[in-house]
Structures are given as structure tokens and as C-alpha cells.
């Protein structure tokens, strides 16, 4: 996959919670996992180890800031962090709040469903609160 055919190299159609010149935090439109976020590197880079050490650290500070915001707002049972890239070889991290009653718990959300899901859409005020928390935690992390 090259930059021209990479879905993460084009502007996101999802809600952007935060973005700078390095990466963006996107709230995915997943009704089974309504607070599911993805941290996407803006540059087309395949592996974390292809980044210089300071950029690796910056990416992880962003991922951890998103995790902290999700924990504070949603109080999930667990947060799942994943960076696979098998289908989309472009550095990005999945940050997924998990709950004991979600469709797949305790399996991966990509695994076998354990129960029927109950689709949910986040209300606009929750999305705004999440964007505000994400921004605050990232700004704090990047300035420390």
C-alpha cells in the first residue's frame, strides 16, 4: 500500500477530537463501541520503529492521553490498546474502552461475539466533553 491508496492519508470522514501537525485523534462511528478512538499518525509511516525516538514518544503520549480521557469520562472495565496495521500499514493506534456487558467482552472486539450488542450513539455533549478532555490531556502530556 502506498500513500495514494492509504485510507489514513486522506482527510478523515470521522469526528476529529483533536489534531496537530503530527497526528489526529478520531472518534470512530462504531455503534457497538461508541467511544472507540483511533490515534492516527499524519505521515505515511509503516512501523512505530520507523519513527525517530522523540516521535515514538510523542505518539505514545497521545495514545496514553486518549486512554486517560476515556477512563475519566466512561469508567470502562478495561481499555484495549492495539496497533496492528495488517490491513492498513500506516502507524495508528486503536484505543477502545471495554465493558463487561459489551458485545465481545472478554474477547477482543475483533473476536467472536459473546452476546448481542445494544447499538449506542454518543450524544453531542458527550462528544464535546470527550474532545475537551482529550485536548487537555494531550496538551499536558506534550508540554511535560
In the chain, where the domains are located: 3-142
- Per the listing, cell 525516538 goes with 53
The superfamily CATH assigns to domain 3-142 is HIT-like (3.30.428.10)
Among 131, 120, 143, residue whose Cα is nearest residue 30: 120
Q: Cβ distance 122 to 35 under 8 Å?
A: yes
Q: How many CB atoms sit inside 10 A of residue 22's CB?
A: 13
The DSSP code sequence of 89-101 is: -S-EEEEEEE-TT
Close Cβ partners of 65 (under 8 Å, ≥ 6 residues apart): 134, 137, 138, 140, 141
* The pTM of the whole model exceeds 0.85: yes
**Per-residue pLDDT at 123:** 94
**Per-residue pLDDT at 3:** 77
**Per-residue pLDDT at 1:** 66
- CA pseudo-torsion sign 123, 92, 75, 32: positive
Where residue 29 falls (left for φ over 0; alpha for ψ -120 to 50; beta otherwise) is: beta
Close Cβ partners of 43 (under 8 Å, ≥ 6 residues apart): 22
In sequence order, the β-bridge partners of residue 37 are 27, 95
Q: How many CB atoms sit inside 10 A of residue 16's CB?
A: 14
* Mean pLDDT, 10 residues at a time, the chain of 144 residues: 84 95 96 95 96 98 98 97 93 96 90 87 94 97 90
Amino acid at each position: 500500500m502506498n500513500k495514494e491508496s492509504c485510507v489514513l492519508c486522506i482527510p478523515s470522514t470521522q469526528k476529529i477530537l483533536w489534531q496537530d501537525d503530527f497526528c489526529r485523534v478520531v472518534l470512530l462511528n462504531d455503534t457497538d463501541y461508541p467511544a472507540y478512538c483511533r490515534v492516527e499518525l499524519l505521515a505515511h509511516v509503516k512501523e512505530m520503529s520507523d519513527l525517530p525516538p522523540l516521535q515514538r514518544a510523542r505518539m505514545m503520549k497521545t495514545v496514553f492521553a486518549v486512554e486517560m480521557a476515556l477512563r475519566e469520562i466512561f469508567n470502562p472495565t478495561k481499555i484495549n490498546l492495539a496497533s496492528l496495521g495488517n490491513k492498513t500499514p500506516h502507524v495508528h493506534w486503536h484505543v477502545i474502552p471495554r465493558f463487561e456487558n459489551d458485545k465481545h467482552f472478554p474477547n477482543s472486539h475483533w473476536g467472536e461475539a459473546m452476546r448481542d450488542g445494544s447499538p449506542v450513539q454518543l450524544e453531542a455533549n458527550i462528544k464535546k466533553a470527550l474532545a475537551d478532555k482529550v485536548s487537555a490531556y494531550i496538551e499536558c502530556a506534550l508540554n511535560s
